[in-house]
Structure 1
Amino acid sequence: MGDKKNYSIKEIARIADVSPATVSRVMNKTTYVDDDKKSRVLAAIEQTSYVPNKVARSLFKKSSNIIGFIVPNSANPFFTEIGRYMEQVAFERGYHVIFCNSSDDLDKENEYARNLISMNTDGIVLITNNTKARQEITVPVITIDREFEYENDFLSVSSDHYLGGKLAVEHLYQKGCRRIAYVGGIDRLSSAALRHRAYMDFCKEHGLENITIDCQFDFNDGLEKTEYLLEHYSEIDGIIAANDIVALAVYKVLRRHEIDVPKQVKLIGYDNIRESSRVTPALTTIAQPIQEIAEITANNIIDIIEGKEIEFRKVVLSVKLIERETT
């Protein structure tokens, strides 16, 4: 079989006996084309299996029907699950999502943003740990999960992290825990700071010791910080983890020390990623509405791109407790 020929728009126009401009109008549906010419163009496209050069079209139209999605850590299932649901919405509305992993590196994050803009990307969805750095993004932006620490007009979609922290500590307290440790981010991110503040407020209100261990949102740091926790606070009976990944690390260390979960120590995570219900014992967690966050974000960024009015600049969604086997 020979190589398939790549046809140009001029060749399609010649086959259909119309002008290249008419072919463009039919493809882009920009203006009316009479039925006879339209049918000839469509027949020529079908005959040649013509696929338009999307790069060339994006340069001409200053648009690509592409949305960039920049995250700080592609290994975090919370981010990839958001990306999965965003992609579904975007595809249904005629857009594609480019996934970019900044590895929590501000320079890499900025380079991704510049490259996306140079590709005529129509909009960018950003999850960043660099909330103090000013963003120089010239296309529509929506941020997810955290707030920037300076005045800005970015749209944002997040969940109620203070409520999440409160639900977590209240649940452990109601289960009889009185030595409750918080193994999570403290103040680097607005989301982490709100959860931690809820924990501290509850401890103060109920006369509990504040046992806070600063921990990154990843498995390896969870292992290290849980070892530190057990070494310095052996009498704990409840642990709130930064997220579900850290909770799994906490559980692994507890098992290593032959500490029974939930009889001796009760454990609660955060996010409700898919793995939280698949492990044994299944993880009690605070569920962020991952699918709703993704769908609202994708629809809003596309509405902005298409010049439609949106109702809210900042969307804050509720969270809920999912009680399973670790409490």
Structure 2
Amino acid sequence: MSILVHISDIARMAGVSNATVSRVINGTAKVSEEKTRRVKEAIRKTGYNPNEIARSLYKKSSRLIGYIVPSILNIFLSEVGRAIEDEAFRSGYKMILCNSDENPEKEASYIRMLTGMNADGIIITANNEHLEEEIRSCPIPIVLMDKSADAFYAASVQSDNYTGARIATEHLIDCGCRKLVLMRGPIQYSSSQQRYRGYVDVCREHRIEPLFVSCRYSYDEGVQSARELFERYPDTDGILASTDLVAFALYKVLYEQRRRVPEDVMIVGYDDVGLSRLMIPTLTTVAQPIEEIGRLCVQLIVEQTEHGTIQQRENMLPVSLKIRETTRRKEGV
């Protein structure tokens, strides 16, 4: 059945013209309250769903928000995606998820695709400088996650990664750990750079040698890096993992090596994803405000789309430490 027939059905039931139905649906002109009520009642009774593609061509808007991530296997990004979808739906938008595999060509391709679809905005976790021109020239609003927007002339939402690493390192030291190791995320990520700086600053303040192993944000990489960590630093007693997912991988290696948590080695994760509260022992971790990050990203898109401007381009959200069972104060400390 065509779009015209659908509109005709609604118009016939409501006793109005096709043009009036179109005006109510698209909000393109003022319609009396009575006629609007009759049209909406007819829409409710028939379950009519306006063709979003047709509306996007007419209004230059598809009510779509793109979400481009380097990996959908990243639990933190998946949970943020859920928050984005919830807020988008609540605001009358739909979310499209795009997985780039950290490939700049795929990221650029997705930006062009979403632009061609008349998307109302794009939320992206992009950590390669090759996208600068693509983002700067994009005609629709873009919000960067976990990265400063200075170089890209976009809006940004990130949590306070420097402070997060500081409070995690301070906690391990307060618990009595003296051989600390950071499982550092990919250095091209600004979040990894800030966490590394926070960790190093605290270690130096306490005259503790800062140690680290590199680790990508994946479970398999976490297992490999954890094994490397204990080969290089066998007497490690405290570890700050780059993410909760990496902390889960670390715990697997500790179990294999018959090292007890927290008696022999203490662990602090990063993100506070749902699984961190389900593992045994429960994971001490730096909590990012996942729901708030998702909501704010969408609100920035909506603000730009509907008002043409935003009040604050750079947005830094606070973090907190969730102390659970993978850390505890040593006796005599």
2:147: which partner in 1? Answer: 146
Matches within 5 A, 1:36-47: 37-38=35-36, 41-42=39-40, 45=43
Q: With structure 2 as the length reference, what TM-score do the two structures score?
A: 0.90
Alignment coverage as a number of residue pairs: 323
2:75: which partner in 1? Answer: 77
CA distance in 2, matches of 1:315, 1:164: 16
What amino acid maps onto 1:144 in structure 2? M
8 Å contact from structure 1 (residues 184, 217) kept in 2:
no
8 Å contact from structure 2 (residues 184, 213) kept in 1:
yes
Matches within 5 A, 1:162-311: 162-185=162-185, 187-307=187-307, 309-311=309-311
1:55: which partner in 2? Answer: 53
What amino acid maps onto 2:272 in structure 1? N
What amino acid maps onto 2:264 in structure 1? Q
After superposition, the C-alpha distances for 1:155-204 in whole angstroms (9 at most, x for unaligned) are: 10111111011111111111111110111225211110010011112222
SS at 2:285's partner residue?
strand
Deviation at 1:132, TM superposition (A): 4.7
> Structure 2 vs 1, CA of residues 32 and 166 (structure 1 numbering), >3 Å: closer, same or farther?
same
Deviation at 1:310, TM superposition (A): 2.9
Q: With structure 1 as the length reference, what TM-score do the two structures score?
A: 0.92
> Could you list the runs of 5+ residues in structure 2 that have no partner in the other structure?
328-333
CA distance in 1, matches of 2:287, 2:40: 49
Bigger drift between 176-185 and 124-133 goes to 124-133
CA distance in 1, matches of 2:275, 2:14: 54
After superposition, the C-alpha distances for 1:207-264 in whole angstroms (9 at most, x for unaligned) are: 2122110110111111001111111211111111000000111111011000111111
SS at 2:151's partner residue?
coil
Deviation at 1:307, TM superposition (A): 1.2
> Which is richer in helix?
2
SS at 1:195's partner residue?
helix
2:330: which partner in 1? Answer: none
> Could you list the runs of 5+ residues in structure 1 that have no partner in the other structure?
none
After superposition, the C-alpha distances for 1:273-299 in whole angstroms (9 at most, x for unaligned) are: 010010000001001111111111111
> Structure 2 vs 1, CA of residues 227 and 51 (structure 1 numbering), >3 Å: closer, same or farther?
same
CA distance in 1, matches of 2:105, 2:239: 35
Deviation at 1:52, TM superposition (A): 1.8
8 Å contact from structure 1 (residues 18, 37) kept in 2:
yes
8 Å contact from structure 2 (residues 127, 190) kept in 1:
no
8 Å contact from structure 2 (residues 185, 216) kept in 1:
yes
8 Å contact from structure 1 (residues 131, 147) kept in 2:
no
Bigger drift between 83-92 and 304-313 goes to 304-313
Q: RMSD between aligned alpha carbons?
A: 2.1
Is 1:110 the counterpart of 2:111 in the alignment? Answer: no
SS at 2:163's partner residue?
helix
1:125: which partner in 2? Answer: 123
What amino acid maps onto 2:197 in structure 1? R
Deviation at 1:72, TM superposition (A): 0.8
CA distance in 2, matches of 1:176, 1:17: 77
CA distance in 1, matches of 2:284, 2:40: 56
8 Å contact from structure 1 (residues 78, 271) kept in 2:
yes
> Structure 2 vs 1, CA of residues 140 and 72 (structure 1 numbering), >3 Å: closer, same or farther?
same
CA distance in 1, matches of 2:40, 2:292: 38
SS at 2:286's partner residue?
strand
What amino acid maps onto 2:140 in structure 1? V
CA distance in 2, matches of 1:46, 1:170: 57
> Structure 2 vs 1, CA of residues 297 and 40 (structure 1 numbering), >3 Å: closer, same or farther?
closer
CA distance in 2, matches of 1:46, 1:202: 60
SS at 1:182's partner residue?
strand
Deviation at 1:16, TM superposition (A): 5.5
1:68: which partner in 2? Answer: 66
Deviation at 1:39, TM superposition (A): 5.6
SS at 1:321's partner residue?
strand
> Structure 2 vs 1, CA of residues 193 and 21 (structure 1 numbering), >3 Å: closer, same or farther?
same
Deviation at 1:268, TM superposition (A): 0.6
Q: Which runs of 4+ in 1 moved over 6 A?
A: none
What amino acid maps onto 2:127 in structure 1? N
CA distance in 1, matches of 2:248, 2:291: 22
SS at 1:315's partner residue?
strand
CA distance in 2, matches of 1:120, 1:213: 43
